[in-house]
Amino acid sequence: MCAARNASPMDDETLSPAAPSPAPAAAPGSKAMRRIERRQDRAEWMILLAVLLLVSLAAIVPAYQERDALIQRERERLDAATQVMEQDLVRMLEGADRAIHSVRSQLASWRQRSDGTALAAQQLKAFADAMPGVRSMLLLDATGVSIAVGANERIQLPAHIDASDTLAFQDARREADPNLLIVSAPYRTKGGAWTISLARAVRGPNGGFDGLVVAVIDPEELKLLLASTRVVDDQFAAVVHGRGGLIVIEPSDRGIEGESMAQPGTFFSRHMASGQPVSVLQGESPASHWEERIMALRTVQPLALQMNQPLVVLDGRNTNAVLAPWTRLMRSRVVELLLGWACGTVALALWQRSRRQARRELLEQVRQMDQVFDSPLSHLAILDLDGRCVRLSAAWHRTMGWSTDALTGQSMRPYVHPDDHPALDAARLALASSGSVSDFHFRMRDTAGAYRELMAQGVVLNDLIYMDMRDVTDERRGRRELKALNAQLQDINAELEGKNRQLQAQERALLELSLRDALTGVANRRRFDEALHAEWRHGVRERQPLSLIMLDIDHFKDFNDCYGHLAGDSCLRAVASTLQDGVHRPRDLLARFGGEEFAVLLPNTDATGAHVLAEELRQRVEVLHIAHDRSAVATVVTLSLGIKTLVPDESSSITELLSGADAALYLAKQRGRNRVSVAEC
C-alpha cells in the first residue's frame, strides 16, 4: 500500500521480498478446485442439517417424554381419586349395614311388645336421620309389605308400603341368605332420582324367609361424594352397579342415570372382564361417543360385608383436556424450531453465496492479472517497496475517478481515511514480515470527496508489491442490514421465550388452584391426601406422633334446609376461615374433607396437643354466633370433633388413622355433638 515516507516510522525501512510460496495443490478455477468447493458446500449443509436435527430432537424428545409423564400423573391422580371414593363409599355401606344389623337384632324384642311397631319405626327414623348416606329404612314382612318405615326429614313416605312387586324385593327374596348384604339393581324413586337399596334377609322361627331390613341409599350424598373428587371442569365421576346400571354420575350431563354401562367395548365392560379390582384405562368407548378418555375404575365389594353384587366407582377425564397445556407448549416449541431452521438455512445460504462470490472475484483477478491489467473491471495496483504507486488499473478511474497515471510516483496515504491509518501501518508490517497480506479493509476517498470501502490483498514478488482490491461498499451495507435482521429475529425469539415463561407461570398457578377447595379456599381432598402420605412417611422416619382431627358441622343438612344453600355456602366459608385462623404452624394443614366435613393434619403432635387445638377450634366456631334454629344442640352453629393420634410405623396404616378419627367423630356425635372426642389407642 502506498504511503508517504514521512507518515510513519516504517516508511524509512526497506521492505525485503518474501520467499516464494509453494505451488498450490489445485489451481484456482480448475476442475479439481471446483470439486473441492462443492464437497465443502455439501459438508457444511450436512453439518447444519445434523445440528438442526439434534436441536430439534433435544426439544421434541423431552417434550414427548413430558407428555407421557403428564398422562401417567393424571392416571395416578384419577386412581387416587377412585381410592378416596372407594373409602368414602365403603364407610357409607358399612354404616348402613351396621344399622341393618342393629334393626335385625332388635326384631325379637319388638315382636314381644305391644308398641313394638312404633318402636321399630322410631328406631328406623333415628338411623335415617343420623346417617348421611341413608335416606330411609324399611322393615318388610315375608310378602313385601312394610311393618315399619323410617325416613329422614327431607323424605315423606307413606306409613304403609307394598314392595312385593318391586325388582329390589324380588331379588332380595331370591337371595334369602341372611349372611348376604343384598345390593339391589338401580331403580327410580317416586321423586325421580336413581338410587339403590341395601337389604338383609330376616329368618323366621322355623328358619325360613321372614322379611327384609332395607336401607335406601341417599343419591344426593353419593353425588356429594363424587363432587368432592372433581378438581377440573372436564372431570367426571360415577357409581355403577355391578351389573352395569349407572346409579349416579357427577356432573349429571355426562351420562344418563339408569342407563346400562355393560355394553361391549365400554370401559366398564373391559374393567369387569379383566377381573381386576382396579383398572386405569385409556382410549375410546361407544359410551363416550368415541371420545378419547382416561378413566380409573375400582370395584367396591368389601369381604366383610358379603355383598351379593359389587359396586364400581369410576373417575375420568377427556384426554385432549389433560394434554391442553402440553399442546400449547408444544406449539410454541415448534414455532421456535421452524424459526431456527429458517434462520440457519438462510444464514448458511448467504454465507456460501458470499464465499462463492469472493472466490469468483479472486479467480477473475488472478486470471486477468497479467492479461487485462488495464481492464476497467479490476482494481489492481503495483507499488514499489517504498510504497509509491507504479501502476493502477483502469478500474480506479471508473470507481474513484482517477486516471491510470494520476497517482504514478505518489503515495496513496493522504487519500486513506485518517481512522484507517493504523490499519494501513499494520498491513505494511505484515507485508514486511510475511510477504503477503489479505482481507485488509480500509476506506479511500474518491475524486468527488466520498469514501468508498475497499477490501485488499497483496503479495511481494520481485521487489514489487502486487495489490488486488475490490469495492465492498454495497456488500458491507448488506451485511449491516443482515445483522439488523438477525437482531430482529433475536428480539422475536426473546419475545417467544417470555411468552413461554408466562405459560409456565400460568401452569404453576393452575396447579396451585387444583390443590384448593373452590368454595372455602382451604386445601382440598387431593392436597390433603398428598400431605397425609408425606407426613406419614416423615413420621415413620422420625418416629414422631401424627394427629388427625376430623370435624363436622352439627346438623348442617338442617341448616341448608332452613336457610338455603347460599347461606350454607357462606356458613362453610366462615367456618373454614375461622378454622384456618386457628391452625398456626407451617406444616399443620386444614382441608375440606367432603361436604360439611373438615380435617386438620397435625405433624409432631401428641393426643394432648391435638385435644387442646380441637377444643380451641370448637370454641372459635361457637363464638361466631352463626344462627342455627334447626340445631338440636344449640341456637348457633357448632362442631363435633374426633381425634386420632398414631406414631407411624410398619404395623400401622393411614387407614387406621383415618378410621380412628372418623370413629371418634362418630362418638362425639353420639354423645350429644358440640364436643371433642379422642379415639382410644
311: CB partners within 8 A, 6+ apart:
89, 93, 183, 196, 239, 240, 241, 242, 247, 299, 300, 301
**pTM (two decimals):** 0.48
| pLDDT of 646 | 95
Q: Tell me the Cα Rg of the chain.
A: 45
Q: What is the pLDDT of residues 16-33, one digit of tens each?
A: 333 333 444 455 556 777
pLDDT digits (tens, 9 = 90+) for 609-643: 999 999 999 999 999 999 999 999 999 999 999 99
Q: What digits encode the pLDDT tens for the residues 175-196?
A: 778 888 999 889 888 878 899 9
Look at 120 and 512; give whichever has higher pLDDT: 120
* HEC per residue, 470-537: EECHHHHHHHHHHHHHHHHHHHHHHHHHHHHHHHHHHHHHHHHHHCECCCCCCECHHHHHHHHHHHHH
Q: Domain residues of the chain, as ranges?
A: 1-16+323-513, 70-322, 525-678
Q: What is the pLDDT of residue 111?
A: 84
What's the CA gap between 81 and 86, in Å, rounded? 9
Place of cell 386412581: 79
pLDDT at 434 over 50: yes
Q: b/e map of 244-254 (b: 16 or more CB within 10 Å)?
A: bbbbbbbeeee
Report whether 279 contacts 297 (CB < 8 A). Answer: yes
CATH topology of domain 525-678: Alpha-Beta Plaits (3.30.70)
CATH (one of 2.10.10.90, 3.40.50.300, 3.30.450.20, 2.60.40.10) for 70-322: 3.30.450.20
* pLDDT (0 to 100) of residue 378: 67
- Out of 364, 453, 596, 597, which one is annotated catalytic? 596
* 497 is an active site residue: no
Residue-wise pLDDT for 322-377, tens only, equals: 888 888 888 888 898 899 889 989 998 898 888 888 888 877 766 665 565 666 66
User: Tell me, what's the pLDDT at 484?
Assistant: 84
Lowest mean pLDDT, pick from 226-240, 244-258, 335-349, 663-677: 244-258
Q: Are strands 187-188 and 209-217 parallel, antiparallel or unpaired?
A: unpaired
* pLDDT higher than 50, residue 6: no
What pLDDT, on the 0 to 100 scale, is given for residue 614? 96
Span 455-505, pLDDT tens digits: 888 888 877 888 778 777 777 778 888 888 888 888 888 888 888 888 777
> Which has more confidence, 414 or 194?
194
For 1-16+323-513, which CATH class? alpha beta
Which pLDDT score is estimated for 524? 94
Contacts of 215 (CB under 8 A, 6+ apart): 96, 97, 99, 100, 127, 134, 136, 137, 197, 198, 199
User: Which element (helix H / strand E) includes 427?
Assistant: helix 421-434
